[in-house]
């Protein structure tokens, strides 16, 4: 991940974008949900080269965000070449055929903008937030590195060294990250989600210049990308500028994701334990769970409500029971993210109040979870959870970056715009019995995995 953040003084910037005069582009319109389901006034179209473009208006400040999401991530790295997607993300800042190394970052600094990029399992995203009068320049630079990627030759070795140092810092020296890495590697038997996004150390060292160039050539075409322009700009201006700067980029050959798939899991629970002075004391119960793209949407929505009932904070049922009543945990929460391209997991995490055998806390979590599922999911609880989810999503969408990130990742992972924007009605249709049914279905058996961090320093302090 590369980050460049400079102060942006909104009150001093009042210029408007320069719009080039040209003929109306041949743009295919992507069907949108009805007006009542599109409260954010999002408009969408597709350029002839296949680039999907979304316009999200927000006129509260003279600021624009540009985000380009490539429908490719670390889970698409070739076998034996883990880390290539993340390596390419670093190199994208190191020059093109038309833009020398350093110019992109210097421009970000000079105009007082924010620039970021990040690689995830399913997507790679590049974005900038800047004063509205700089949109053309930002589009020019982003389109340039989509088409004419040609880094400084010295960057290939220097960026690889940076990534290896990043691996050592994040994984080699961080026991909590090691526990996460061990857990994923054991939870997924065959799917590439088992491989760290940054890659395995031994394979990182062997990644070559040609690997990065081939990856860009294969995957970084307009027909494998989504462009989002959000902020203080009208729809017609977005169309004209997108056609001007991204329209001339030729489409690449169509690619299909060719991932190894996860086999059906056995019911036996896998156990992973890491004992160390610096690991955080914790126990994780990890269950198989569906996702939006391949699962039943009703089930996914109901599981999202169940996650809210179990809790992210002190209002959750798990927290109230294990922390407030039994006083055996210092913290506890649930985590469910159905927005991956392939099925992922539903996780319960608890940290003990004092050191003791984590199996005691595991047992207490199990008993409490069964009690909640069998006796405590009622109409009032479900309705409160739905209201809180919708309220939090509305608040979340008030940010340029949050709404852009939500939409591009959803589209890149197989969701449609109507379902994403219609979340008020979607959650309203879920009934208490739906939540009860999915809770019974996905939690009737023991978890797929128990992962425990045993803090030896906490053991010493409690004795």
pLDDT-derived band at 73 (thresholds 50, 70, 90) equals very high
Catalytic residue among 52, 89, 299, 362: 89
In tens, the pLDDT along 187-214 reads 999 999 999 999 999 999 999 999 999 9
- When pLDDT is averaged across residues 209-221 and rounded to a whole number, the result is 97
pLDDT of residue 446: 94
Under a CB-based contact definition with an 8 Å cutoff, are residues 400 and 129 in contact?
Answer: yes
Residue spans of the domains in the chain: they are: 2-245, 270-462
Per-residue b/e over 147-184, b at no fewer than 16 CB within 10 Å? bebbbeeebbeebbeebbebbeeebeeebebbbbbebb
User: What percent of the chain has a predicted confidence (pLDDT) above 70?
Assistant: 90
Tell me whether residue 89 is one of the annotated catalytic residues: yes
Identical fold for domains 2-245 and 270-462, yes or no, is yes
At residue 25, does pLDDT exceed 50?
no
At residue 14, does pLDDT exceed 50?
no
Query: Rounded to an integer, what distance in angstroms lies between the CA atom of residue 446 and that of residue 136?
Result: 55
In tens, the pLDDT along 270-303 reads 999 999 989 999 999 999 999 999 999 999 999 9
Q: Which residues contact 26 (CB under 8 A, 6 or more apart)?
A: 48
The CATH code of the domain at 270-462 is: 3.30.830.10
> Under CATH, to which class is 2-245 assigned?
alpha beta
């Amino acid at each position: 991940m590369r980050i460049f953040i400079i102060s942006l003084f909104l009150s001093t910037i009042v210029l408007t974008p320069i719009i080039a005069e040209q003929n109306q582009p041949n743009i295919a319109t992507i069907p949108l949900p009805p007006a009542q389901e599109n409260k954010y006034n999002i408009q969408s179209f597709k350029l002839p080269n296949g680039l999907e473009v979304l316009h999200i208006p927000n006129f509260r400040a003279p600021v624009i965000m540009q985000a380009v999401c490539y429908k490719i991530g670390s889970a698409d790295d070739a076998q034996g070449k883990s880390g290539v997607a993340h390596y390419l993300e670093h190199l994208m800042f190191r020059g093109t055929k038309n833009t020398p190394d350093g110019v992109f970052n210097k421009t970000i600094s000079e105009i007082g903008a924010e620039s970021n990029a990040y690689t995830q399992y399913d997507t790679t995203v590049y974005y900038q937030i800047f004063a509205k009068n700089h949109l053309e320049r930002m589009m020019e630079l982003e389109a340039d590195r989509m088409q004419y990627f040609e880094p400084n030759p010295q960057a290939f070795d220097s960026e690889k060294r940076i990534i290896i140092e990043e691996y050592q810092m994040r994984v080699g020296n961080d026991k909590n990250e090691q526990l996460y890495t061990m857990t994923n590697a054991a939870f997924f038997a065959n799917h590439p989600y088992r491989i760290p996004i940054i890659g395995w150390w031994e394979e990182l060292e062997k990644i070559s210049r040609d690997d990065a160039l081939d990856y860009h050539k294969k995957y970084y075409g307009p027909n494998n990308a989504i462009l989002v322009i959000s902020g203080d700009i009208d729809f017609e201006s977005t169309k004209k500028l997108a056609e001007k700067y991204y329209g001339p980029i030729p489409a690449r050959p169509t690619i299909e994701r060719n991932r190894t798939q996860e086999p059906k899991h056995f019911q036996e629970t896998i156990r992973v334990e890491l004992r160390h002075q610096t690991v955080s004391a914790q126990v994780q119960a990890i269950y198989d769970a569906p996702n939006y793209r391949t699962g039943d949407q009703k089930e996914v929505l109901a599981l999202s409500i169940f996650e809210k009932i179990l809790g992210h904070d002190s209002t959750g049922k798990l927290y109230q029971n294990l922390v407030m009543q039994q006083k055996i945990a210092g913290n506890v929460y649930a985590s469910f993210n159905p927005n991956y391209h392939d099925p992922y997991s539903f996780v319960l995490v608890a940290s003990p109040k004092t050191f003791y055998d984590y199996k005691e806390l595991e047992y207490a979590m199990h008993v409490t979870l069964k009690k909640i599922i069998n006796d405590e999911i009622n109409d009032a609880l479900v309705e409160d959870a739905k209201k809180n989810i919708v309220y939090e999503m509305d608040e979340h969408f008030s940010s340029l970056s949050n709404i852009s990130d939500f939409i591009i990742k959803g589209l890149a992972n197989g969701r449609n715009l109507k379902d994403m924007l219609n979340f008020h009605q979607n959650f309203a249709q879920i009934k208490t019995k739906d939540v009860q049914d999915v809770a019974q279905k996905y939690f009737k058996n023991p978890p797929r995995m128990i992962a425990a961090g045993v803090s030896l320093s906490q053991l010493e302090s409690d004795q």
